[in-house]
Structure 1
Amino acid sequence: MASAFLALSAWQVMLAGLLFFGGIYLVFGAATWLLTRNILPALGLGRTLDPRPLAPGQLRRELAQSGISVLLFGTGMIFPWGLLQLGWARLAMDASATRIVLEILFLLAWNDVHFWVNHRLLHTRLLRRFHLPHHRSIVTTPFSTYSFHPIEALMLGNVILLPMVLHDFSFWSLLSVPLFSLFFNCIGHANYDFFPRVSYAHWFAASRRHHLHHACYHGNYGFQFTFMDRLFRTRLAADAAARQLQAHEARAQSDARARSDARA
């Protein structure tokens, strides 16, 4: 597979990248939507985090913005391919299974560091206008995952370039990055608590933490893990959005009483 990738032309690399990123976005997004909207609620497993309705036209906007991100991520495959063609990076062609596992674990940690740094920058006064399109999704969906401004997509999409010039990774280790990144991102944006019994600090509570980031805007800048938010003291309290959700519930109950009185 690595040899086949290196043998592709520039146009073939970009086309393959478009098909790859578009495919995994649609498959992971649709699967997470189905799981959290139908299957898990029917089985009584987990719970919805934010009961407020989606904004009008939200799904259409998310899909449109995600299409631009897919275009950038897909055609952006030319950059790691170019590093390999220029000899600035190399692939480990005969990496052992143990080496691949260790590389994937390193890339998991690096992805969290890279995401936190870029995400924190996107919340600064200088760059926040490029992050606001993503935050229009206050109540998130799996399709919010790639719903970025192009500048944000470029900032988050370069995660493997620096590691590639510092170490000869296996092709499979590098391929794992967009797969686990999108998988965890879909979980984080699913607006669903898959493991209600685990603590707020647990790795499996990432969807809870990212739900709070969208509900409160500031804080919880990390990706799947908590070590960067702990280190820089940017982790939100578990009840940070309680006031907004309680206000929504009070309005919903008031509206229900008003409709009941009108029928009476």
Structure 2
Amino acid sequence: MSWGERFIAFDAPTVMAVGVAWFTLLYALTGGIAALLWQRLLPSLGYGRRLDPRPLPAGQLRRELWASASSILVFGLGLVVPWGLLRLGWARLAVEPSPWQIAIEIVVLFLWNELHFYLNHRLLHTRPLRRFHAMHHRSHVPTPWSTYAFHPVEAAMLGSVPLLPMLAHDFSFAALMTLPVLSIVLNNLGHGNYEASADAPARGWRAASRRHHLHHACYHGNYGFLLDVFDRLAGSTIPLNAADARITAAKSKQEAR
């Protein structure tokens, strides 16, 4: 029996328990590695730079951990939805997919994840939904522990990413399982508050951390995930110096105390 067949054979409580354990592991493991990388290893090597030097407000990390715990529950318990699609026969898994098929599906899901995130992120910045997104934006200076620090409504919106693709195509179980791993790894890149590049500003994928740092610092703009193509097409790109004035003002205020 394949892993996909075993997953379908689970009962609903088992699916939800496995889901909560899986997302807890993803959050703890990737957050710990990212914190070590961005806050310890790369600074000690003198490679790259911290983007927002402002100190974290008291209680930020504790708040992020509690908010992330609620998101993990939403993601984990919500795993019953794609499981239900498979059990009902509304979606199916690929049978004996080739390595090439799995690789192509991972690329397709990555691109879909970029579009899905951009569209949902823009919605979360509209008047009816911005109150839900406000929880995430309380972290003006992002950290690796900000990655899942969402209101449950936002967590449900972002967690819906595999549903439409599953209805449109019979994906391999391996590709579907790769999607949340890929998502949180990219999320850690965006929330690391660290530019891992010898050049400033960074180019290419390394620029994702600077773009998302600017989004947290300035709020409006840079709604994309790793790629900036949708922001460029929509004209929602934030200038590279947009946060300089407020960071300088905050540092001066801190030094005056």
Same fold by TM (over 0.5)? Answer: yes
User: Which of 58, 62, 74 is the matching residue for 2:76?
Assistant: 74
The answer for the alignment partner of 1:181 in structure 2 is 183
Q: Is the 8 A contact 2:71 2:155 kept in 1?
A: yes
What is the Cα deviation at residue 197 of structure 1? Answer: 1.7
- Distance in 1 between the 2:202 and 2:49 partners? 14
Q: Which has the larger radius of gyration?
A: 1
Partner of 1:97: 99
The answer for unaligned runs of 5 or more in structure 2 is none
Question: How many Å separate the matches in 1 of 2:219 and 2:59?
Answer: 21
Cα deviation, residue 254, structure 1: 4.7
**Superposed CA offset, 1:44-80 (max 9, x none):** 1111100001111000000000000000100111011
Which residue of 2 is the match for residue 111 of structure 1?
113
- 1:31-50 pair list within 5 angstroms: 31-50=33-52
Contact 2:135/2:149 (CA < 8 Å) preserved in 1? yes
TM superposition shift of 1:93: 2.0
Partner of 2:156: 154
Query: Is contact 1:33–1:190 with CA below 8 Å preserved after alignment?
Result: yes
1:172 maps to amino acid: A
Q: TM-score, normalised by structure 1?
A: 0.93
Q: Is the 8 A contact 1:116 1:223 kept in 2?
A: yes
Match of 1:84 among 64, 86, 91: 86
CA distance in structure 2 between the partners assigned to 1:204 and 1:108 by the alignment:
17
The TM-score, its normalising length taken from structure 2, stands at 0.96
On the 8 A contact 1:33/1:142 being kept in 2, the answer is yes
Amino acid at match of 1:42: S
User: What secondary structure is seen at the aligned counterpart in 1 of 2:61?
Assistant: helix
The structure-2 alpha-carbon separation of the partners of 1:38 and 1:106, relative to structure 1 and needing over 3 Å to count, comes to same
- Alignment match of 1:141 (pick from 132, 140, 143): 143
Aligned counterpart, 1:61: 63
Pick which of 69-78 and 34-43 moved more.
34-43
Structure-1 separation of matches of 2:254 and 2:70: 36
Measure, in 1, the Cα distance between the counterparts of 2:124 and 2:232.
Answer: 19
Per-residue CA distance 1:20-65 (angstroms, 9 max, x = gap) = 0001101111111111111111111111100001111000000000
Q: Which residue of 205, 208, 218 corresponds with 2:220?
A: 218
Output the CA distance in 2 between the equivalents of 1:200 and 1:210.
13
Q: Which amino acid aligns with 1:68?
A: S
Maintained 8 Å contact 1:72/1:154: yes
> RMSD of the alignment, in Å?
1.3
Does residue 131 of the first structure (1) align with residue 133 of the second (2)?
A: yes
Number of residues of Structure 1 aligned to a counterpart in Structure 2: 255
- 1:168 is the counterpart of 2:153: no
Match of 1:2 in 2: 4
Give the letter for the 1:151 counterpart. V
C-alpha distance in structure 2 between counterparts of 1:30 and 1:201, whole Å: 25
Question: Whole-Å Cα distance in 2 between the matches of residues 30 and 53 of structure 1?
Answer: 19
